[in-house]
Amino acid sequence: MRKMALAAVLLGTAASMMPASANDALTKLSQDPNQWAMPTGDYANTRYSKLDQINAGNVAKIAPAWTFSTGVLRGHEGGPLVIGDVMYVHTPFPNIVYALDLKNDGKILWKYEPKQDPNVIPVMCCDTVYRGVAYADGQIFHHQADTTLVALDAKTGKVNWSIVNGDPKKGETNTATVMVVKDKVLVGISGGEYGVRGSMTAYDTKSGKQVWRAFSTGPDAEMLVDPEKTTEHGKPIGKDSSLKSWQGDQWKIGGGTTWGWFSYDATTNLVYYGTGNPSTWNPKQRPGDNKWSMTIFARDADTGMAKWAYQMTPHDEWDFDGVNEMILVDQDFAGQPRKLLVHFDRNGFAYTMDRVSGELLLAEKYDPAVNWATKVDMDKASPTYGRPQVVAQYSTEKQGEDVNTKGVCPAALGSKDQQPAAFSPKTGLFYVPTNHTCMDYEPFKVSYTAGQPYIGATLSMFPAPGGDHMGNFIAWDARTGKIAWSNKEAFSVWSGALATAGDVVFYGTLEGYLKAVDAKTGKELYKFKTPSGIIGNVNTYMHGGRQYVAVLSGVGGWAGIGLAAGLSEPTAGLGAVGGYAALSNYTALGGQLTVFALPQQ
């Protein structure tokens, strides 16, 4: 009797005071267009907002409403969160987090600056970037460059708990954000250029205790795959799928890191993410398919067990990491309503898949410059079904070690890299920031030493032939595999897009412009030169009845590494400097938030 009463009280309290789980609360927040509660906008990674106070008809009138300098230079990827009256802004290394008061032009409510060993900097592949913090249930989850994961009290910035996910001395670092799903925070790892063995780990949001960890390579049990139940193209992957695809113990230093964006679908309870390049970049040193590098994984959020996997680029020869975001949308495909997963891979192909079954529905080039493969084999009866058909001329393996394979398109940073695309359910189109670049790639033999670069190739990058530009901002139809419209950009569009119900799409440029274009036509409606080049992701929120659009400036990232790190020469293994050197004619280092709105009168 007493027990029942207590249960009733608890139930009543729970129902009135809090949602059933943190996930429900976060889901609710992410569905409230007044907030920007997740780095990805929502679990589906659509980066779409229902707000339309700013729209195609009036966006030309927006202007900065307030600004904030982060006090840190170099590349500012990611974007701020907005929860109620507070904006959470992060910086690249040293990974400062600011809580800013939206009621007071961004007054600093608290600041958290971790003490990190600066020796982590040289171990970070491609600038000291960081893609931001996550929020759930009163906590800010902050994944530092040194792989320390900290849970901060969102009100005070005080540390609730802190754990360490990896070891920078072995080249394990972090650049990615994390994602909270129910009572777990999902955490990836960087270091594919240091022979790091990739993994995805789930920690309990309240205690920081590890719940599950799924490696990208190795024994089935360590990968959390079931040889019989985990499928690729609808078929079980079988026993030792990874071990059989590597020579000897190479899988132990085989990459497949997980530094991209994560997605989650509550209806299937599946988490989606991609794995990075196999180590080293010299394909001769790692015969086999190198599973499960370059793979899209669909995993059960509670157990981590993989439901399906799809290796897009078996035996990578170009550093085409598969980590780009999976965008989860429900659209008709071939006349049928489908639960789709759309993914714009570094390798230049856009994939449309059934996210429940893992069925590959479409794979088309989203930059006509792509030349390393003719197509992805879509013949289900073919033994090479789902595999790219590699062009021998651009096979760096066939060309061989110490041979400079010329003119591979795209360049190693891909037709798209970390810069996330957006999707508008109103137009049914995806808005994709792209790179329009090619490369020369020369693999060489390299030996592994823990914590030392394990790259094994030199490369140089340059604009795709016949053009005078290094980027395009495109609208893509994932149902047809066609570009709806395409805007040329002088440099790679390294910033993340935002689509809104106002039929406006926003993105930033490496020169520093925030641009607003018509979602239907791509017509430029507005541009503003922010202090520094933009590689951050645009977001939007409502506060006090006014819609705001916010973006971080701060040139850098892989495309801007020359400027960010003060390099004047292409560097071995990075090589991004060449084509992007002209950036220094447009912008200088910075670290600023600019918040736009319509004028108040």
Active site residues: 319
Contact 36, 81 (CB under 8 A): yes
| Under rule CB under 8 A, residue 594 binds a second copy | yes
Q: Report, in Å, the least distance between residue 70 CB and a second copy.
A: 6
Tokens of 492: 């790679």
Q: Report, in Å, the least distance between residue 538 CB and a second copy.
A: 16
Tokens of 378: 């879509």
| Under rule CB under 8 A, residue 592 binds a second copy | yes
Q: Which residue has the tokens 């390294």?
A: 494
Shorter beta-carbon distance to a second copy: residue 278 or 533: 533
Question: CA Rg, the chain, in Å?
Answer: 22
| Under rule CB under 8 A, residue 70 binds a second copy | yes
Contact 219, 240 (CB under 8 A): yes
Which one of residues 162, 452, 528, 581 is an interface residue with a second copy (CB under 8 A)? 528
| Under rule CB under 8 A, residue 601 binds a second copy | yes
Contact 439, 470 (CB under 8 A): no
Q: Which residue has the tokens 């950036």?
A: 583
| Under rule CB under 8 A, residue 509 binds a second copy | no
Q: Report, in Å, the least distance between residue 586 CB and a second copy.
A: 6
| Under rule CB under 8 A, residue 69 binds a second copy | yes
Return d(Cα 45, Cα 30) in angstroms, integer.
11
* Contact stretch for a second copy (CB under 8 A) within 45-53, 304-312, 442-450, 523-531: 523-531
Shorter beta-carbon distance to a second copy: residue 16 or 601: 601
Q: Which residue has the tokens 């779409």?
A: 48
Which one of residues 532, 539, 540, 547 is an interface residue with a second copy (CB under 8 A)? 532
| Under rule CB under 8 A, residue 469 binds a second copy | no
Return d(Cα 408, Cα 401) in angstroms, integer.
16
| Under rule CB under 8 A, residue 159 binds a second copy | no
| Under rule CB under 8 A, residue 55 binds a second copy | no
Return d(Cα 343, Cα 431) in angstroms, integer.
12
Q: Report the site for a second copy in 93-132 (rule: CB under 8 A).
A: 98, 105-108, 111
Tokens of 149: 């994961």
Of the candidates 165, 132, 139, 147, the residue with the CA atom closest to the CA atom of residue 41: 132
Which one of residues 21, 25, 66, 398 is an interface residue with a second copy (CB under 8 A)? 66
The sheet carrying 539-543 orders its strands as: 63-69, 592-597, 546-553, 539-543
Q: Report, in Å, the least distance between residue 74 CB and a second copy.
A: 10
Which strand (E) or helix (H) includes residue 549? strand 546-553
Q: Report, in Å, the least distance between residue 186 CB and a second copy.
A: 30
Q: Report, in Å, the least distance between residue 75 CB and a second copy.
A: 13
| Under rule CB under 8 A, residue 64 binds a second copy | yes
Contact 507, 497 (CB under 8 A): yes
Tokens of 410: 């795209």
Shorter beta-carbon distance to a second copy: residue 273 or 586: 586
Q: Please tell me the count of residues contacting a second copy according to CB under 8 A.
A: 38
Tell me the pairing of strands 63-69 and 504-508.
unpaired
Interface residues with a second copy (CB under 8 A) are 60-61, 63-64, 66-71, 73, 98, 105-108, 111, 512-513, 528-532, 553, 584-594, 599, 601
